[in-house]
Structure 1
Amino acid sequence: MPKSPALSSCKKPFSLPPSSSLQQNPKSNMVETHKKPHVIFIPYPLQGHVIPAVHLAIKLASQGFTITFINTQAIHHQTSNAQPSSEPDIFAKVRESGLDIRYTTVSDGLPIGFDRSLNLDQFAAALLHVFSAHVDEVVGQIVKSDDSIRCLIADTFFGWPSKIAKKFGLLYVSFWTEPALVFTLYYHMDLLMINGHFACQDCREDTIDYIPGVKAIEPKDMASYLQETDTTSVYHQLIFEAFNDARNADFLLCNTVQELEVETLSALQAKMPCYAIGPIFPNGFTKSFVATSLWSESDCTQWLDKKPHGSVLYVSFGSFAHVAKRDLVEIAKGLSLSKVSFVWVLRPDIVSSDDADPLPDGFEEEVADRAMIIPWCSQRAVLAHPAVGGFLTHCGWNSVLESIWCQVPLLSLPLHTDQFTNRKLVVDDWKIGFNLSDGRFVTKEEVSNNVKRLMSGKSEDGFRNTIKEMKKTLENALSCNGSSEKNMARFVKDLKTKISEKMKPVDRSACTGG
């Protein structure tokens, strides 16, 4: 059975329509767009958020929307450097296929070369106070020049989209890129505070069983920001603002699947118009029309082609979070002890921007005959390769969904934010993998033992059969009559209905300061 079949049984669900299907203006030979509802789309400026945003924008454009996609200059700069031959406009090839997606960039308020991952509070403050002002200005300019603008879609983690949408008479769609369970916990921060599980010096450590749609969760399985006792950081301020703002959204889109989070989504849907439309992947899964990688990708194909089926462990800790130096050294020593072949994505800043060579002395020589250590790669392409049989991961949500799609069981080492909750879903609820370490610190012995257990292929663990069934759940959701396709169609219909209700003349005085 191929690891990465078509994403849906629908006819080309993510494909782009031929340009001949578009109306042409004979005077200008330009695509006529004034009859299309125009949507402004703003992703959160981290790779894990940009990727699903790009592919959702493409899907919406294929549903008859004009999209203006706003990236930060820093993200655009890093993407361009990673693919020097790419177009200045990341959607150029998409437009060649006939979809109307415009592209622009604005400053997030920090110098392009500023290290955002090591200065999270400064990054959060810039997004909250400076980037929002730049977005306000550019949205005003777009609205002033195009009276077909009807909607703003923005990542939930911003604390201001509903205010900007209201200012310019637009609908606001909040886009959530993580599990519905994580959204629900943030959404009910007030209950966590009232019950003493969050935002107090001596927080309770017993099971949380009072959140609507959540049977039970341990405090250690909440997002890292909900486990911290000091909530005065700028990032906490951003989170508080974001979920106050999300309550004002006209619609909520979630990159998850209804069948994976039935009770949580049902409880959310009782509170707000919420649509589970995931997993959001590019057409063909491994290939994308749009460059979204922040690092130059190494091609692992030829190396993997020489390895036996299911024999290679893929190791990656994502695009943003850092690994403690001590843990990284133990992981390296454990991989060496395991004698398992592996591809390890080792970002240049995986420990710190100031530590360019964090591996133990002699490690690369020890494993040279069975390892490929690279700064970055196309993760979907590697996971889809038949030689890959396991994934040592930080449990980022994109990584979890991609791993399920490729039927690759997971070895979990959560590092930051939603990854702790994702680990609970993967290990405790869905049972498609297990923990790298059950202690406070990682040890080389447990790394070696758990890597060998993951890669042994023994059926008694059960997670390989379970992940095959979960893959079917994702496939079914993306089929013509599947839950995600139906939810997407319902969202488009509901959005267009609400847009038509707002088609009466809009007061644009805010655009000119009147």
Structure 2
Amino acid sequence: MATEQNPHAILFPYPLQGHVIPAVNLAINLASRGFTITFVNTKSIHHKTTQANNNNNVHAANGEADDIFAAVRGSGLDIRYATVSDGLPVEYDRSLNDEQFTGAMVYVMAAHVEELVAKMVKCSVPPVSCLIVDTFFVWGSAIAKKYGLLCASFWTEPALVYTLYYHMDLLIKNGHFASHDNRKDPIDYIPGVKTIEPKDLMSYLQEDDATTLVHQLIFAAFNDVRGADFVLCNTVHDLEPQVIEALQCYKPFYAIGPILPRGFTNNATVATSLWAESDCTQWLNSKPHGSVLYASFGSYAHITKWALWEIANGLLLSDVSFIWVLRPDVVSSNDLDPLPVGFKEAVRGRGMIIHWCSQQQVLTHPAIGGFLTHCGWNSILESIWCEVPLLCFPLFTDQFTNRKLVVDDWKVGINLSDNQRLVNKEEVLKNVNRFMEENLRNQLKATMGEIKKYLENALGPGGSCDKNMDCFVNNFNAKAKISSAAIN
């Protein structure tokens, strides 16, 4: 008699650290609910991750000797690990060659993925039943359909951003996007979305030219997602209820966030950092509570050298202590020390400048009083959880829309600059000092405490995170049985 086997999902995170981290936590969550997960990093991400974690045990030519989930599997979860080529050489500088990287995502990677999926469908035990694919991949539902698998699309940003991309046809039809002279009046026709200003759209939807490679990727990805069976979204239902309810009219859309490690402790058992981490604890221990500004522009966004110098000079003029994460390629891989000459010496003692760190470790330290951020979605969720107010300077993509949520809707942060595209040292000085002043910080923290309750309720017993995840698993199992019966 046949025995019922675990559902087996192959999970493909988009090859950027901000997408890999929530995908790792999703893998752990699903495995704890009885799924077998095969987690697939690109060979490039795997290479950078193992390098960053000082792991020199990669002997296999294909780079698969190290397994980032080895310790997790030891705790009883069935999470397997594999790698796949994105179509570019492992050592190729994707940061310096973003257009070539995007081209590989659109036109090359699918063939490598399909080869892996075909092999796993043929011989995996338990048999593969599902692909879980980052929404920004252009091939997820097409490959799933070809091999008779269910497809869950994993969206790592707010539901608001998803629905704006999903309704690009309406933005084009109404002349707010992809026209020679984009309209500047408010947008009030997106289902579930209150009026939104064009300046608060994602950077790619503020552009006149929609023929670039990244636009080709976005159009193809949101065409492919229409064929997915489910969408899993790293947001909190009660933070975006109208948007989510409108999206549920199209297909099952589950708000399963915030996808944070339980207890919000650094999960050292799964390597996700792409750079070696500096430990800031000793330095932070020497600073008064709430006195330090943490600044980071994330793992992929770039900043112009001019803007970086204006921020540096503003920080220099302020009296504020700060930790500033400046990864090696934050301006360009060709400019490894982009700060003004003499800046590091001038701020010695009150400024700590590092390439990378454990953001969770820093945000949870009592010396941290605020976060100068590019408004990446992971950073926003982590800051809310830690009740650290946000000083916002979005750089590209969803960050402009995320800024709107933080500053205008939830009121848990302020802008670094009146003009989100430009900044000068005088504005930096004024807004850093204002932001770190105790009265405003306390006001922002109080508001943030209220927003944090939505996250706590979502993660609590009977909260939307578990409830929606259970609903997804139940609906997945039901649909999988129907698919299996149809095949047999």
- Pick the TM interval, shorter chain: over 0.9
Secondary structure at the aligned position of 2:227 is classed as coil
Equivalent position of 2:63 in the other structure = none
The reply on whether 1:208 has 2:178 as its aligned counterpart is no
Which structure 2 residue ranges, 5 or more long, are not aligned?
A: 58-65
Distance 1:283 1:276 in 2: 17
Matches for 1:39-118 after TM superposition, within 5 Å: 39-85=9-55, 88-118=66-96
Counterpart CA distance in 2 for 1:336 and 1:42 is: 42
Find out whether 1:267 has 2:224 as its counterpart: no
Q: Quote the Cα distance in structure 2 between the aligned partners of 1:402 and 1:231.
A: 33
Query: Aligned residue for 1:287?
Result: 266
Q: Is the 8 A contact 2:389 2:441 kept in 1?
A: no
> How do residues 304-343 of structure 1 correspond to structure 2 at under 5 angstroms?
304-343=284-323
State the shift of 1:462 in Å: 2.8
Please give the secondary structure, in 2, of the residue aligned with 1:247.
Answer: helix
C-alpha separation in 2, matches of 1:114 and 1:420: 29
Contact 2:375–2:392, Cα closer than 8 Å, also in 1:
yes
Which 10-residue stretch deviates more, 120-129 or 222-231? Answer: 120-129
Please report how far the alpha carbon of residue 500 of structure 1 lies from its aligned counterpart in structure 2 after TM superposition: 1.6
Give the superposition deviation at 1:504.
2.6
Q: Contact (CA 8 Å) 2:434, 2:440: kept in 1 or not?
A: no
Spell out the pairing of 1:395-414 with structure 2 (5 A cutoff).
Answer: 395-414=375-394
The one of 348, 353, 358 aligned to 1:378? 358
For the residue of structure 1 that corresponds to 2:131, the secondary structure is: strand
**Paired residue secondary structure (1:503):** helix
Structure 1: 5+ residue runs without aligned partners? 1-32, 508-514
| In 2, Cα distance between equivalents of 1:430 and 1:118 | 35
Q: C-alpha displacement at 1:499, in angstroms?
A: 1.2
In the alignment, which residue of structure 2 is the partner of 1:197?
A: 176
Matches for 1:159-308 after TM superposition, within 5 Å: 159-288=138-267, 289-308=269-288
Residue type at the aligned position of 1:320: Y
Instruction: Please say if residues 120 and 235 of structure 1, whose CA atoms lie closer than 8 Å, have aligned partners that are also in contact.
Output: no
Corresponding residue for residue 127 of structure 1: 105
Letter in 2 for 1:56: L
Q: Residue type matched to 2:123 in 1? A: S
How many angstroms apart in 2 are the aligned matches of 1:472 and 1:409?
15
Cα distance, 1:461 vs. partner? Answer: 7.5
Q: Give per-residue Cα distances to partners, 1:36-89, cap 9 Å, x unaligned.
A: 111110000000000000110011000000011111000000000000238710
TM-score, length basis structure 2: 0.95
Distance 2:73 2:173 in 1: 50
Does residue 476 of the first structure (1) align with residue 457 of the second (2)? yes
Q: What SS class does the counterpart of residue 297 from structure 1 fall into?
A: coil
Once residues 404 and 357 of structure 2 are traced to their aligned partners in structure 1, the CA distance between those partners, rounded to angstroms, is 27
Q: Give the partner amino acid of 2:477.
A: K
C-alpha distance in structure 1 between counterparts of 2:440 and 2:23, whole Å: 37
Name the SS for the 1:134 alignment partner: helix
TM-superposed deviation, 1:459? 4.6
Deviation, 1:34, is: 7.3
State the distance in 1 between where 2:33 and 2:114 align: 27
Distance, in Å, in 1 between the alignment partners of 2:486 and 2:465 is 34
1:421 aligns to 2:401 (yes or no): yes
Runs of 4+ in 1 over 6 A off after TM superposition: none
Asked whether 1:494 is paired with 2:436, we answer no
Amino acid at match of 2:206: Q
Q: Deviations over 1:89-125 (max 9, x none)?
A: 0000011101111101011001122222232221121
Which segment is superposed worse, 177-186 or 454-463? 454-463
Q: Deviations over 1:267-324 (max 9, x none)?
A: 1112210000101112331221200000000000111111111110000000001111
How many correspondences in the alignment? 475
For 1:58 and 1:108, how far apart are their aligned partners in 2?
A: 24
Aligned to 1:18: none
d(CA) in 2 for partners of 1:354, 1:459: 39
Offset at residue 165 of structure 1 (A): 0.2
Q: Structure 2: how far apart are the matches of 1:132 and 1:357?
A: 36
Contact conserved, 1:117 with 1:321, CA < 8 A, in 2?
Answer: no
Q: CA deviation at 1:472?
A: 1.4
The match for 1:455 is 436
Tell me by how many angstroms 1:445 deviates. 1.2
